Structure 1
Amino acid sequence: MDTLETRELRYFIAVADELHFGRAAERLGIAQPPLSRAIQQLERRLGVTLLDRDRRGVSLTGAGEVLLQEGRAALDATTAAVRRTRRAGGADGPGDHRDRLVLAVKAGAFHELLDKLLDAYAAEPGAAEIEVLPSGTCEQEEMLRDGRADVALMHTPFNSLAGFESVELMTERQVAILPARHPLAAREMLSLAEISDVPDLPLARWARHGTYPPGPGPEVHDQTQLAQLIALGRTMTVFPESARTWLWDEHAAVPLSDAPLVSTHIAWPAHSRSRALAGLVRTASRL
């Protein structure tokens, strides 16, 4: 049999993530015996061993690694289909069929570009309603893949455009954002090496997938917290130059001489056939 049920994929992914049947069962809200039986039945149907089980615990086989990767993508696609179908049917109920697009953007970035894009698109005949959804660092990819967003403004090299269609809109340099009263704020230019090891001003650490990179800097959850910590002289960060638009008087932005250039792209799922999305992309390309 060449078909899989979404329930089977959810069960397997939970076990593969936890590598423990008891924790996976608790996460799923079911008892452990039926979960174990479901995984065994899945292995028999597929004719492969997905999990190695011994007294030391549970580990993924090569086949299990493949199913974990492919299964995640399949569940994301199913979830995305449900979300986008509901949006296409109207946000306010079955009788409301207004076009609506969800645009994911990195919080605090490219205000000027976003304002121009939204104003220009709103002036187009038949323009759809645009819901702007600010997101954390690098979350736009996940939001496009799981259907929370229809389109996104993404940065390379920080965001991956793999699997998406995209159009490059602008390229800019990066700047260090630091307290205005700090001695480094008076510099005309800084290097990455110079800001990587400042004892009294460690780089902020952003969460990604629930974890933080190692280092002495504070753990930052959102832009407001970051702005306040910089103003208090507790941290600094690196952003594209367009972030100057949200700086406070207590902040300074100093260009970085050796940081890679950042390109902003408008990106969308490769399979999308939305006319509203096509119109937004055309407007963005003209800008």
Structure 2
Amino acid sequence: MAELETRELEYFVAVAEELHFGRAAACLAIAQPALSKAIRRLESRLGVRLLERSSRHVALTPAGEALLHHGRHALDAVGAAAEKARRAGDRQAHLRLVIKPGGDANLLSGILAAYAGRPDARRVDILFGGATDRADHVRAGRADVALLYAPFDDMTGLDHEILLVEGRVAILPPDHRLATRSQVTLADLARETLPRWKGVRWTGAPEAAGQGPEVTDAAEALHMIRLGRTIAILPRSLAQPMHPDLVYRPVTDAPDSELVLAWSRDDRRRMVASFVAAAVEAAGTTRGRG
């Protein structure tokens, strides 16, 4: 069976993404004839045509589309393996935690204090990610642990511990028809316009709800609510602090949200296990006080 070399795959993915040999060659910092020769050699070894090309046009064949899809994942896996190997061999490595701003339910200070008190504690570097890319940081080896919200974040390839289980709230303009109620249900919200969360596959919104503006985080959603373009259903902690111009009502039958600490399923480093244990301990202490 023909084998692929990482460099060949990098060359092909560059051409497939640019659909232009000249631009791909510039990105790769190689000569265009050398790149063209490498792609022809790859097609010959695989026995399939990957690209349809003319003097003015480059397009992917079905085989090329398949190789692009799987090739991206393969290159990501190679990069993650190298990064994780370097991290595993670095005894002085800092622990890297990725969060989204405001996405710690006020638990982070207690978690860091609990971890700092452990004899094997390392320095913790805080990284900020977007609404949907924090799990990717862990899978790619750019972060060791992440604070995520289940079931909204993609947990593929990750293990996790639950730190907090919380209800969800509807956020409404003050003149909304439901604003005078003390609580609402999903049926009450079934025909409301709700935002489309970029990169989020499941939000728990009613199926009949209308599709509102696309947003990437809670701050954008709140802005659109104030403009009267949408309402939103959020985990209670992500709705904090409450905006004085908006109304917050518990959604009594909405699925609970879980704030979790996640790490790579194959990561067995003591540094990570120690941080996870400290986080679970700290979160339990915080809940006990509540």
Instruction: Give TM class, smaller chain.
Output: 0.7 to 0.9
Q: Which range moved further: 110-119 or 147-156?
A: 110-119
**What TM-score do the two structures reach when normalised by structure 1?**
0.75
1:103 Cα shift? 1.3
Equivalent residue of 1:112, what SS?
coil
Q: Which range moved further: 232-241 or 23-32?
A: 23-32
Name the counterpart of 2:264.
269
**1:155 pairs with one of 144, 149, 153:** 149
CA distance in 2, matches of 1:265, 1:274: 19
Name the counterpart of 2:131.
137
Equivalent residue of 1:203, what SS?
strand
Matched letter for residue 59 of structure 1: L
Equivalent residue of 2:42, what SS?
helix
Equivalent residue of 1:186, what SS?
coil
CA distance in 1, matches of 2:177, 2:275: 44
Query: How is 1:191-230 mapped onto 2 (pairs within 5 angstroms)?
Result: 191-192=185-186, 194-195=188-189, 197-198=191-192, 202-208=193-199, 217-230=212-225
CA distance in 2, matches of 1:207, 1:248: 23
> Is the CA contact 1:109–1:240 (under 8 Å) kept in the aligned structure 2?
no
1:142 Cα shift? 1.5
> Is the CA contact 1:103–1:152 (under 8 Å) kept in the aligned structure 2?
yes
Query: How is 1:90-105 mapped onto 2 (pairs within 5 angstroms)?
Result: 98-105=92-99
1:269 Cα shift? 1.4
2:39 is equivalent to residue 48 of structure 1:
no
CA distance in 2, matches of 1:122, 1:231: 41
2:233 is equivalent to residue 246 of structure 1:
no
Classify 1:127/1:216 alpha carbon distance in 2 versus 1 (closer, same or farther; 3 Å): same
CA distance in 2, matches of 1:237, 1:251: 11
Classify 1:130/1:32 alpha carbon distance in 2 versus 1 (closer, same or farther; 3 Å): same
CA distance in 2, matches of 1:252, 1:28: 52
Classify 1:246/1:87 alpha carbon distance in 2 versus 1 (closer, same or farther; 3 Å): farther
Matched letter for residue 194 of structure 2: L
Classify 1:31/1:178 alpha carbon distance in 2 versus 1 (closer, same or farther; 3 Å): farther
| Unaligned segments of structure 2, at least 5 residues | 201-209, 285-290
Matched letter for residue 203 of structure 1: L
- Note the alpha carbon deviations across 1:111-138, whole angstroms, 9 max, x for none: 2233332232222223222222232222
Query: How is 1:164-175 mapped onto 2 (pairs within 5 angstroms)?
Result: 164-175=158-169
Name the counterpart of 2:203.
none
1:157 Cα shift? 2.1
Equivalent residue of 2:131, what SS?
coil
> Is the CA contact 2:104–2:147 (under 8 Å) kept in the aligned structure 1?
no
CA distance in 2, matches of 1:85, 1:251: 48
Name the counterpart of 2:287.
none
CA distance in 2, matches of 1:120, 1:251: 35
**2:179 pairs with one of 185, 191, 194:** 185
- Note the alpha carbon deviations across 1:180-225, whole angstroms, 9 max, x for none: 4534232233344544644xxx43344339xxxxx76344344444
Equivalent residue of 1:41, what SS?
helix
CA distance in 2, matches of 1:238, 1:26: 46
Name the counterpart of 2:277.
282
> Is the CA contact 1:177–1:251 (under 8 Å) kept in the aligned structure 2?
yes
> Is the CA contact 1:106–1:138 (under 8 Å) kept in the aligned structure 2?
no
CA distance in 1, matches of 2:9, 2:59: 17
- Note the alpha carbon deviations across 1:57-107, whole angstroms, 9 max, x for none: 633445862x434432332234335555676788xxxxxx74412212233
1:145 Cα shift? 2.0
CA distance in 2, matches of 1:180, 1:86: 53
1:279 Cα shift? 0.5
> Is the CA contact 1:181–1:250 (under 8 Å) kept in the aligned structure 2?
no
Query: How is 1:85-124 mapped onto 2 (pairs within 5 angstroms)?
Result: 98-124=92-118
Matched letter for residue 73 of structure 1: H
Name the counterpart of 2:74.
74
RMSD: 3.5
Name the counterpart of 1:93.
none
CA distance in 2, matches of 1:165, 1:50: 40
